[in-house]
Amino acid sequence: MADRVISSAIGSTDTRYAVHGPFWTSPSVGYIVVHPSVGQVIDVRKTTDSGTNWTVQDPDFNPVTSNIRSQAVWYDRETPGNTGTLIHVAFVAASGGGVKYAVFDTSDDTWDTVRDVDSLTINSTGAASDVGITVSKSGRVYLCARGDFAADTEDTDHSMRSSSDLFVSNNESEASPYSADEEQMRLFPGTDADEDDISAVVFDGVNQDLEFWKFDATANSWSTTTIDASILVTAAEGRDQKSFFDAAIRHSDEHILVAYWNDRDVSTGDLRTVDITQATPTITQEGDIHQSDDSFCAGILINQPNNDVYVAYLGSDAGDEILDSNVRCYFKLSVNGMTSWGSEQTYGVENVILRMVMTGHTIGDDGGRVMPVLFYSGGTLDMVNDDNDIEIEAAPSTGDVLVGASPAMGPQVVAVPTQVSGY
């Protein structure tokens, strides 16, 4: 079946930066955050039929005037132990450059009031700003943002703020993680005793390396550990396709799992993985997923109940497609902590100009789907494929056993027979 359109009202190829999710509350109910038009509106689109149809939620109160290249999203249930219902959205305003924050509540499908967080300077609605957001284990929201690369404001115009009440009245200044090195941030909850602490996976565009950073909330300071110093992706390439690396937190041990490309559109380009123990920190290189020309982008997803890891990417193992012209989306599964990877599975059937893949990062006890969201640049629309996705059933209740997974079928739940007396 052809890939299914979520939104065909996309106004610019730059809106590929504003695709987030899907975030699942059951195997059939999921949410995607998109930027559907040149009107700088942020939409949440919901499916209740496993991805067949998607409808805009609470459109009269959705955030507006968002810069098309400057959003970050965090779902409560990405944070270990958090069973909340909020999708947290941070963005830089298209007019004036202010940093904004809003939450969408999946319990009643409504937006809350947009909050002013900070100010920035950007030169246009196409400014390549960077935004990061997470919710710590204590429930504190952290939001970092910095100005426009093109306007050369990244060294002076940036900040990080935190709040204990969703920025309603509490808004505290924290040590900014940004410098002149053109960093791109993915923020995560920390794992130290202080549950206000957070961490980050960072692409340093000037030094061309991938780094792991820890934020000590008490000391209000950052520390840095190198993940991989052999990144050949340039700052400009990283800006153009921000999803060349992705990361997610595994709840069972609170490790950060990262999938990333060391280079772009060359035969020696590797889609690599690392497992980061936050406390030490310790960087463990895991198995490579893919090496091929005409491939790029990565989206990582963890099935938290059994720790299976899925990574989606653009361009096949065979290297027989053309990046930025005609590629499909594929994914692989690891059932052993990313030590090794299963065979390549075709996800998207359209061989078109794809520029982004997002996976939603986490599936918890309520179940969900392996259903990457694709951004089709040629048609400026967002797509999923509801034939080639994988259903992840809700975690088994008492008396059921999770017996494994396969790329074709996903986890299978079987009932445990009641023992008969005398046997």
Please indicate whether residue 64 or residue 186 has the higher confidence score (pLDDT): 186
Largest CA distance in the chain: 79
Tokens of 95: 């007019």
Residues 344, 341: Cα–Cα separation, whole Å? 9
CB atoms within 10 A of CB 16: 27
Q: Under CATH, which number does the domain 4-415 receive? A: 2.130.10.10
Give CA–CA dist 29/20, Å, rounded.
15
Residues ≥6 apart with Cβ < 8 Å to 117: 90, 98, 99, 100, 101, 143, 145, 161, 167, 171
pLDDT tens, position by position, 293-345: 888 889 999 999 999 999 999 888 888 887 777 888 899 999 999 999 999 99
Half-sphere exposure of 292 (CA within 13 A, CB side): 20
Q: Cα separation of 311 and 47, whole Å?
A: 22
pTM score, two decimals? 0.90
pLDDT digits (tens, 9 = 90+) for 221-249: 999 999 999 999 888 887 767 788 999 99
Residue type, 99: V
DSSP 90-134: EEEETTTT-EEEEEEETTTTEE---EEEE----SSTT---EEEEE
Each domain of the chain, given as residue ranges in start order, spans 4-415
Whole-number pLDDT of residue 147: 79
DSSP 237: H
